[in-house]
Amino acid sequence: MLWLQALLFGLVPFCASKPLLPRWDDFQVKHAWVEMPRGWELHGPAPADYRFNLRIGLKQARIEELIAALYEVSDPAHDRYGQHLSKDEVDVLVAPHSDSADLVESWLTAHDIDTNAYHRSGGGDWLTVEVSVSEAERMLGTQYNVYRHSGSDDYVVRALNYSLPSILHEHVAVVAPTTYFGTIKSMKKTSFLQPHIPTIESDTDIASLLINPGSLATVPSSCSTTITPSCLRALYNTTSYTPTATAVNKLGICGYLEEFANFADLQTFFERFRTDAVGSNFTVVLVNGGENSQSEPGVEANLDIQYADGMSFPTPNIYFSTGGSPPFIPDDNTPTNTNEPYLDFLNFILAQSDVPQTFTTSYGDDEQTVPLDYATSVCNMFAQLGARGVSIMFSSGDDGVGAGDCLSNDGTNTQRFQPNFPASCPFVTTVGATFRVPEEGISFSGGGFSNYFAQPSYQSTAVSAFLTKLGTTNAGLFNVSGRAYPDVSAQGEGFQVVIGGRVESVAGTSASSPTFAGVVALLNDFRLANGNAPLGFLNPLLYSTGAAGLNDITSGSNPGCDTNGFSAGTGWDPITGLGTPDFGKLQALIG
């Protein structure tokens, strides 16, 4: 009797938890849009034999440990500060549980996908398999279509929803490309030309005025309308610093949208605006079919490289040109990959053992247009870079609290402020924009509160103080418990950029991010030159001891969504963050 009971009680749960043949056809929805993503229209079904790379992100078994480690090594008050993880240590923490790996493999095998034909990331958390549309449709219980973007006339192959066998839900974080429509051309480029702002052809006059760098009195009044590296170096107090750790320190600039940084334009820029840098160069790394056409200089790419280099010279700068593919041609039977720009770039960079200590990226999407599962996976990849000692800057967006009518896409059409992603990821440092001297927040500066990511503790004191002062203003239009941004800011208007040999005036938080990243690269140079670890993930430092090294910007507002937006004030605010950098003061603080 006793034996029988033991047998029964032991066997029943065993049978229930280990079915011999998992069912691969009891689909449960993984992500579904309730409406067609705005700006897109159905063009027709995707050709059944169209082949593309499907990325399967497995649940990372110890991701909470990775994030805890990230916070410890980034917190200047913690014993582990600066003790960044190696690539191998990160790979261990992002590895999937072996059950997840086994189950996903049996699922792929059940679909006749050759286990030798797929690529596995270092941690084993990403599998990339080449599949046809019909195979992907069977695996994901979905239908892929060709969708056309009416504004840009681009075509992509995507799905409005996708499913997974129910047994896989606790093992798979995301599958892409599926429902993320934001693609290479439709990603909002956060920079715009300013034809109405006069340009200056040379700033030797300005340079000669900079006798006493770092003193606001010596920043020439022309810097209120036209920004050059001399203005920024004076304003942010970097003029007297000479980098020396140039054999190890590097600054990475991320480029997408087939935006190419031009070598000749950089030389012209240096001849006019940073003569000591003439003859120095940047290198280009092509990622996933990225190109480097020198006949098509890009406004964004030239802005990014000229100001990143203009601020950080002689630190080596690397331009990462991430492709994806040429636009999909609906009738072509031999198309290549589909575009998943961040995943392509992040999978590439995380596979390298030696990565730049500082990155700047000036691209983004409305957060609500990025599926939550995709955004979470990408944001966790920034955490991995941070844990490895990388500082990551993103521009905050150029639409204040949101562009247009700001209606939600959840089927309710509610008016809500529209945060940007990846600006809203808590593991990046988001840079807003200022203008004029003395500095004020500029109206387009993107800022707000995430609806996806909770407010990280490093910013809770700073953000609570702002919310208390705000009272009921804008109540209901934003998420008080969300990750708040920007973290910091820098000038964002009247930047003198050489494009195709001509000087143009450019504005946008696209200008602010490379500027701030240039200052961070100098700080990393100082750390490395003294035998210290690089700064890594900056936010825990910036919101604590680092705040004293920032110039608090206390005026300006960022209207949008038919409201006045938020207003800048003393302390952190969602227009200028904690403020703009004072290199000299930060250098003293990070000793």
Ligand X SMILES: *[C@@H]1O[C@H](CO)[C@@H](O)[C@H](O)[C@H]1NC(C)=O
Q: Which residues bind ligand X (CB under 6 A)?
A: 29, 32, 143, 160-161, 214-215, 237, 263, 267, 279, 281, 451, 454, 479, 481-482, 582, 584-585
Angstrom distances, CA of residue 142 to CA of 26, 27, 50, 135: 13, 10, 15, 10
Alpha-carbon distance 18 to 303, whole Å? 57
Min separation Cβ 450 and ligand X, Å: 7
392: helix, strand or coil: strand
Query: Can you tell me the distance from the alpha carbon of 401 to that of 560, in angstroms, rounded to the nearest whole number?
Result: 5
Helix H or strand E segment including 295: none
Sheet of 188-189: strands edge to edge? 188-189, 363-366, 420-421
The residue number whose beta carbon is nearest to ligand X equals: 584
Q: Is 113 annotated to bind ligand? A: no
Q: Supply the minimum distance, in Å, between the C-beta of residue 282 and ligand X.
A: 7
CB of 236 to ligand X, least distance (A): 9
CB of 50 to ligand X, least distance (A): 16
DSSP class per residue in 505-574: EEESHHHHHHHHHHHHHHHHHHHHHTTPPP--S-HHHHTTGGGGGEE-----B--BTTB---B--SS-BT
153 carries a ligand binding annotation: no
DSSP helix/strand/coil, 44? strand
**Which DSSP helix (H) or strand (E) runs through 354?**
none
Q: Phi/psi zone of residue 397: left (φ > 0), alpha (ψ -120 to 50 degrees), beta? A: left
- Closest to ligand X by CB, 191 vs 268, is 268
Q: Is 57 helix (H, G, I), strand (E, B) or coil?
A: strand
- Residue (268 or 322) nearer to ligand X, CB: 268
- Residue 194 or 292 with smaller CB distance to ligand X: 292
Query: Minimum CB separation from ligand X for residue 83, in Å?
Result: 28
Return the amino acid letter for 511. Answer: A
Q: Which pairing describes strands 358-361 and 251-255: parallel, antiparallel, or unpaired? A: parallel
Q: Which is nearer to ligand X, 190 or 312 (CB)?
A: 312
To the nearest whole angstrom, how small is the minimum distance from the Cβ of residue 197 to ligand X? 26
Strands annotated E in 396-501: 420-421, 429-435, 440-441, 448-454, 482-485, 488-491, 495-499
Report the DSSP beta bridge partners of residue 432: 489
Residue 249 sits at the vertex; the CA angle it makes with 84 and 226, to the nearest 5 degrees, is: 120
Nearer to ligand X, 40 or 126 (CB): 40
The Cα-based distances of 206 to 313, 411, 436, 499 in angstroms read: 19, 54, 16, 21
Token reading at 148: 């056309």
Give the residue from 498, 509, 496 showing the smallest Cα distance to 229.
496
Kindly state the smallest distance separating residue 281's Cβ from ligand X, in Å. Answer: 4
If the CB atoms of residues 128 and 143 are measured against ligand X, the closer one turns out to be 143
What does the alpha-carbon distance between residue 64 and residue 51 come to, in Å, rounded to a whole number?
35
CA dihedral for 488, 492, 498, 500, sign (positive or negative): positive
Residue positions annotated with a catalytic role: 300, 304, 510
CB closer to ligand X, 32 vs 117: 32
What would the two tokens of residue 215 be?
């003193």
Report the greatest alpha carbon distance in the chain. 99
573 has binding-site annotation: yes
Could you give the CA distance from residue 533 to residue 392 in angstroms, rounded to a whole number?
16
- The residues pairing with 42 across neighbouring beta strands, listed in sequence order, are 147
Helices (H), 274-409: 299-312, 341-350, 372-387
215 vs 221 by CB, closer to ligand X: 215
Distance in Å, CB of 310 to ligand X, minimum: 15
Do the beta carbons of residue 362 and residue 304 sit within 8 Å? yes
Whether residue 26 is annotated as binding a ligand: the answer is no
CB-CB contact of 297 with 500 (8 Å):
yes
User: Would you say 33 or 71 has its CB closer to ligand X?
Assistant: 33
Residue 581 C-beta: closest distance to ligand X, Å? 10
| Annotated binding-site members for Ca(2+) | 552-553, 571, 573
| Annotated binding-site members | 552-553, 571, 573
